[in-house]
A and B are shown apart, each in its own frame.
Chain A
Amino acid sequence: MHKLMKLESKKYNFKRYIFKAISITLILITFLLLIFFADQEISGKTFMDIHQIYMLSKTLVNISFLILASVMLGRIVIGEYDKQTISILFSYPISRKKLILSKLLLICSFIFIAIICATTLLTSTLYVVSHIYYDTPFDITPQGYWSLLVNLLINSLAYTCLSTTSLYFGLKKKSSTRTIIAGVIIALFLGSNIGDFSLANIILVPIVFAVVGIFFTSMVIKNLEQTDI
């Protein structure tokens, strides 16, 4: 599987996606900083504590990277169907399931790491800025630190799984545009998870998302062997 993922990465220019991920992160940082500095009164209410800024960063990152994931799925998976190179790929002595799974794993690993890095970056930036400009800067206790970290990991995993859902819808019509549109819709509806740091929010919702993602992916993988190319 590892070898397959490596072969996949040779086919596509991953630097491009890294560049896109960095650009998205920078845009989001700029956006947040603008809110922060625009109006001290409003921002005072928006950025109350570390949890709030974390929630805000998390939401923005989730939405953006969910869409980026569907763009990547559109190009890396659906793109092979589009260009007919899928008929070459499926004429190799490797199970179709493994071939498509290797693509998915490659994209998911990328998105997972990207979400973690971006959320951390966003939250840290605001944290640092708050120390410089606020009279009462955000504070974080060691326990708080750990709970945030755990939440970050669970959140990233859940959204990474969820992002593969758009593939199911795009594959039906073998259209990468449809994949992206599905991704945007899912991102806008499910991306915002703003609310309290309640138990349901931390555990239940991410699990549901992960399950949904895995469910749709398994539907895609299951049908591969019966499909005609």
Chain B
Amino acid sequence: MDTILKTHNLTKAFNGVEVISNVNMTIRKGEIYGFLGPNGAGKTTLMKLILNLIKPTSGQIELFDEALTYSSYEFLNRIGSIIETAVFYDRLTGYENLELHCEYMGYHEDQAIEKALQMVDLAHIGKKKVKEYSLGMKQRLALARAIITKPELLILDEPINGLDPVGIKDMRNLLKKLNKEYGVTILISSHIISEIEQIADKIGIIKNGHLIQEIKLEDTRMEMKTCFEIVVNDSKKAALILLNTLNLENFKVIDDTTIRLYDFKHPQTEIMNALIQNGIQIDAFLKKKDSLEDYFLKNVIGGETSA
């Protein structure tokens, strides 16, 4: 089984309005797949469709090499998930919630709960009832619940929601570890591009219910260009100088004070000299690589600032 998930023209409409349209996505085994998209794009809806919580209007989902039907449910014990804000049985403690979870999943392993709590740094929650937990603690408990049965596929909807920077780093490391050491396939959604960038192998970009692009991160890295980023006091004047004095065209004016140069024919010093001699004040001159955020904004949101 090479592909864990495949969707064919998956469509979902609520009251006649299509919220997911003809989505064809593929997730291979062992991959970390990042869902990227603005609020309301349909990321959570797609995840619910995969979990069979929502039924498709048309199209098909193939999970673990089997097509999903209205009444499918056995596949669910191979999946761990966090959908929307994590909910628990508030009257019970975190430990009891996990106990219930294991019972329902049919998972019986000694010390599994202790291990899972340790992995998410909640080892000493003791007898505290979940209604007394902070948001960060609930998120951690949700992650513990998702991973405790050692699932083959993890579906995580904005899992870093509510976590502090340390928590975010811990979760990132934990997910990477689960992926590398246990071969867990992970589907993770976020609007925080920098987080996805650090962890995903493949990215699916969703906008208005359409899967606009599916790209491997290594491919984007080739497209994300290196450039010289020059911070000056007057970028328009500097642009003219680059054009007229150095015959450089391959650059972009980002704003009043920033230019990005994609041409490396001329050495740094030559460019700097040309600018200084013409009265331009240089505040910074860096070699920079496009981040995924720039790539995303450029190619997806479709805004390009031009010279």
| Smallest CB gap from B85: residue in A | A84
- Contact segment of A38-46, A92-100, A152-160, A190-198: A92-100
Q: Is the CB of B87 within 8 A of A85?
A: yes
77-92 of chain A: CB within 8 A of chain B? 83-85, 87-92
How many residues of A sit at the interface, in one of the four size bands?
Answer: 20 to 34
Q: Is the CB of B75 within 8 A of A93?
A: yes
Q: Is the CB of B89 within 8 A of A85?
A: yes
| Complex interface: chain A residues within 8 A of B104 (CB) | 7, 89, 92, 94
* Contact flag A96-B73 (CB < 8 Å), given A87-B83, A228-B53: yes
Docked pose: A94 CA to B101 CA in angstroms: 12
The answer to whether A200 has its CB under 8 Å from any CB of chain B is no
The answer to whether A2 has its CB under 8 Å from any CB of chain B is no
135-153 of chain B: CB within 8 A of chain A? none
Q: Is the CB of A95 within 8 A of B106?
A: no
Q: Is the CB of A85 within 8 A of B88?
A: yes
Docked pose: A226 CA to B69 CA in angstroms: 10
| Complex interface: chain B residues within 8 A of A172 (CB) | none
| B79 CB to nearest chain A CB (Å) | 8
The answer to whether A143 has its CB under 8 Å from any CB of chain B is no
| B146 CB to nearest chain A CB (Å) | 10
Q: Is the CB of A11 within 8 A of B89?
A: yes
Q: Is the CB of A87 within 8 A of B92?
A: no
| A93 CB to nearest chain B CB (Å) | 4
Q: Is the CB of A91 within 8 A of B81?
A: yes
| Complex interface: chain B residues within 8 A of A94 (CB) | 73, 104
| B19 CB to nearest chain A CB (Å) | 11
Main secondary structure of the interface of B (DSSP, over half): loop
| Complex interface: chain B residues within 8 A of A229 (CB) | 48, 53-54
Q: Is the CB of B87 within 8 A of A88?
A: yes
Cβ proximity bits B70-93 to A, threshold 8 Å, 1 near / 0 not: 110111110101011101111110
The answer to whether A15 has its CB under 8 Å from any CB of chain B is no
* Contact flag A92-B91 (CB < 8 Å), given A10-B100, A87-B83, A228-B54: no
| Complex interface: chain A residues within 8 A of B54 (CB) | 228-229
| Smallest CB gap from A83: residue in B | B87
The answer to whether A225 has its CB under 8 Å from any CB of chain B is yes
Partner of A93, one of B48, B53, B92, B105: B105
The answer to whether A136 has its CB under 8 Å from any CB of chain B is no
B-contacting residues of A (Cβ < 8 Å)?
Answer: 3, 7, 10-11, 13, 83-85, 87-96, 225-226, 228-229
A-contacting residues of B (Cβ < 8 Å)?
Answer: 48, 51, 53-55, 70-71, 73-77, 79, 81, 83-85, 87-92, 96, 100, 103-106
